[in-house]
Every structure is written in structure tokens, then in C-alpha cells.
Amino acid sequence: MWTPTPKLFTLRNLNSGEDQTLPSIRIGDKFIKCSLVLFDLDGTLVDKDFRNVALAKTRYNAIKRIAGEPAAKRWAELSGVELPSFSVDDNGPLSKAPRKEDLTVATTAIWLDRLNWFNAKELATKAYAEADAAQSTGFKAELIPGTVEALKEMRKAGIRLGIATNGSGKTARELMEAINVDALFDVYVGADEVTDGKPMPDMIIEACSRLDVAPSDSVYVGDELVDAIAATRANCAGVVIVSREPDVSEYTEFVVDSIADIRVG
């Protein structure tokens, strides 16, 4: 198993006068030169709790319609979804698992009805696709306050932006389209489009590749320990974590309260 080596970042004082060929973002009195900033979605750009409840409801209803109520109730239990409130365990599969692993949970819940595994997987895939469509048309994401302004400042400075999420890249794009901010982002990559989700670096590397940007010229912004590990494995120029909960000191010193705390250098 690959054990990541903590990355030591080269930090430059704002008044150092060093070459500023690339744009930069600033956290406090330090900055990171980069041409691309990639973001996690839930808990970083959008309110995670609000979205998780909506996601739990749409997936539960889709599985119930396609595979029956017993399968839907098993899915809820296995996914960390409490019924009937649809509150979501923040440490459970719905909140934490990459898309492919999450789909395996749904497949297992349906398979326990004594179906053939491949038939169960087909039904689970169909249910998740239906839930994705319902999310795209019936759910309006809430960006964390101050996010849009910070994103626009980065764009104005010439920094390209993207989303790399353990969820679906297509759904992420559609959620951003629904609130008219999709034009701020140059690339969307989900765990369903790469071999492995976070904490592996695949989606970050893929996003950089699509824009012809070296990962070492990019910064990744997330809210979980897996985000810090994935960015370190991808050899990103920097990692910014927008949460005070996980201990990420082994990987980065940049811990902020929200994207609004990230300035242009």
C-alpha cells in the first residue's frame, strides 16, 4: 500500500521580490504560485449537510422505485442515512466514499434480495443515474458565503479553476449550471471518470492533464484529510483545507475557515 510522503512547500514572503511569472493565491502573509486551482465540491464549495440530505432523499426514492422499499431501507442503513429524517452520518459511505464504492454499497443492498450480482449492479446504476437527474433538475446547491467573490477574483488574476470531486463530475457541472456559476470553472472531473477516487491522486492529475497544466503548478482546495493526501500524491504546489476538524498538519499549514479566506497574491 502506498504511504504518502508529506510534501514540504516552498513559501515566499509577499515582499520577497521573487519572480512572479505565475499568478498566485495568498493565505495570510504567504502565497503559492499557481496557474490552476482545483476544488472539492461538498463541504468546500457547497454546504455539505444541505446537499447530503437532498442526495440521500433522491437516492432512497430512486432505489425504492426501482428495487423496492426493503432494498432502499437496507441502502439507507448501509450508507449512514437515518430514516425518516434523512440525516447523514458524516463518517458514512454517502458522505465519504468515492462514487464507485458508493455504488457498490447500493449494489449490495439490492443484491441481498437474492438477485444476481450483475443484475443488482444494473439496478443500482439505474437508480443512481435517476437520482443524479433528480438532483440536477430539482436541487439548487447553496455555495458557502463569500465563495463566488473569491472565485471571481482568482479568475480575474488569470488563475484557471476546476472541480475534482469524489462524486460525479457531470452532476457537479449540472449543479453549478443550476446556480449560474459553471462558467467560472474550466474543468470538472469526478471519481467515476478515473480509476481511483481520493485519497488517490487520479482525478487531480486528470483535471490537470485536460488543461495541459502540470500538477506542480496547481493547488487543491478541500475539506477532508483525503483531499490533503490526494493533493500531496499528485505533487500539487499547495494544499488548502477549509475545515478545522481533520488534522492535516502533516501535509499542509494552510487551514482556513472558507474559500473567502483565500486571496489573490
pLDDT of 63 over the 50 cut: yes
d(CA 27, CA 33): 12
Q: What percent of the chain has pLDDT over 70?
A: 92
Nearest to 239 by CA among 222, 215, 216: 222
**What separation in angstroms does the CA of 9 have from each of 12, 24, 198, 251?**
10, 14, 21, 9
* Pairing outcome for strands 36-39 and 218-222: parallel
Q: Does a cis peptide bond (omega within 30 degrees of 0) precede residue 98? A: no
How would DSSP label each residue in 113-165?
TT--HHHHHHHHHHHHHHHHHHHHHH----BPTTHHHHHHHHHHTT-EEEEEE
Q: What is the pLDDT of residues 220-262, one digit of tens each?
A: 999 999 999 999 999 999 999 998 777 899 999 999 999 999 9
Q: What is the pLDDT of residues 158-176, one digit of tens each?
A: 999 999 999 999 999 999 9
d(CA 17, CA 20): 8
Nearest to 223 by CA among 51, 10, 1: 51
All three cell numbers of 164, joined, read: 475534482
Q: What is the pLDDT of residues 69-116, one digit of tens each?
A: 999 999 999 999 999 999 999 999 999 999 999 999 999 999 999 999
pLDDT of 136 over the 90 cut: no
Nearest to 165 by CA among 207, 218, 106, 133: 207
Amino acid 139: pLDDT: 85
pLDDT of 8 over the 80 cut: no
DSSP-assigned letter for residue 191: G
pLDDT of 12 over the 50 cut: no
Sheet holding 263-264, edge to edge: 12-13, 30-33, 24-27, 263-264
Domains in the chain, CATH or no CATH each:
21-47+143-264 (3.40.50.1000), 48-138 (no CATH)
To the question of pTM greater than 0.75 for the whole model, the response is yes
Amino acid 183: pLDDT: 95
